[in-house]
Structure 1
């Protein structure tokens, strides 16, 4: 009930009617995994410099249906962030305007559920980017892969500690590593985690 009320008021804030499709109920078998690279880890002050996404259909990562954009931030990037994503301001000089990229991203995801690793941060960054021109936050259903992993793992080891680090989950699920700390690569790995997790009841065999 509370979720429906929040969606109602969120929808009323929409200033561009061409994006009404985001609020339509989704009834298909697809989802979208996505990830952002940013200037830092504070959604209130930092900016998106790269976003990558890939569609999931049933039990398949549809690699041919992917999305990737880069953006030139208005602020200097923190050294700690550069060490992670290896992107410099000079690499982003000719990148897309953030509003154009976000409009394309919203058309790519549509009203599909969103999948990610620590998705709350990425959604917060996208919300910061779209609110100035749309007035809303993302209304899509959100699926956190670390939460799915925890629920499956704790059922098998109720008295144990669950390691929720990205690399640990990938290793435990016996998934091949992809390009780490690259937005599209991280999105693809999150998609692989999601597919593996929705197809097992418990993780005691991993």
Structure 2
């Protein structure tokens, strides 16, 4: 199963008030295992970067000035995403910006049916705990020491590791080959194996074994089963 883990950086919190997408990073997973394929791009938002946002991700107006606009890279992005499920942390936020940018350049929105929200999964698995990406990395022992500022590709790489742990851990990608496996049915986080079972072998004593057993019984002195109640 192919899935895309992605993260975005933006100029602010709400695309409906003019905030724009300035970075997207995507990681390809197949059967919960990173394939090494990624998509990463910066975009010129055509608006000034608020200082509050720059302090979070470090992307300045000067850095983004020569980057392409979203519509100039949208076809490459859509080709990479294809029709795979899209995994994000607090996914409503990332989907909101992605779909706003797609609409602005005449492309259909990504269906919310494809959305997998790791924040929701984390809340169900660890109620009452902290659910930020940093907190989940700490919980699962994922090294984030190189995360000085937010970055879409780096955060997507960390999130991919968190997602694997949230959905069953690294053992979910292990497969055992055996002649007895007829089919493997995959469900969310569960692998069910339907096996071909052999008919039980008959355990019937041979004639020679019966004769030896009878001779042995004759040698017993006062066996319990011969005593009257």
Fold conserved between structures, TM > 0.5: yes
* Aligned with 2:118 (options 139, 145, 149): 145
* Aligned with 2:141 (options 174, 184, 190): 174
Supply the distance in 1 between the matched residues of 2:74 and 2:7 (Cα, whole angstroms).
13
Supply the distance in 1 between the matched residues of 2:138 and 2:151 (Cα, whole angstroms).
18
Q: Deviations over 1:97-129 (max 9, x none)?
A: 211222211110100000111111111101111
Residues 18-167 of structure 1: pairs in structure 2 closer than 5 A: 29-44=1-16, 45-62=18-35, 64-139=36-111, 141-154=114-127, 161-167=128-134
Give 2:159's aligned residue: 190
Larger helix proportion, structure 1 or 2? 1
Supply the distance in 2 between the matched residues of 1:40 and 1:123 (Cα, whole angstroms).
14
Provide TM-score, normalisation by structure 1: 0.75
Provide TM-score, normalisation by structure 2: 0.68
Gaps of at least 5 residues in structure 2 are: 170-229
Gaps of at least 5 residues in structure 1 are: 1-28, 155-160, 201-206
Mark the structure with the bigger radius of gyration.
2
Alignment coverage as a number of residue pairs: 165
Larger RCO: Structure 1 or Structure 2 (Cα < 8 Å, ≥ 6 residues apart)?
1
Q: Deviations over 1:126-183 (max 9, x none)?
A: 11111133352102511111111121223xxxxxx22122211111121121535111
| 3-state SS in 2 of match to 1:134 | coil
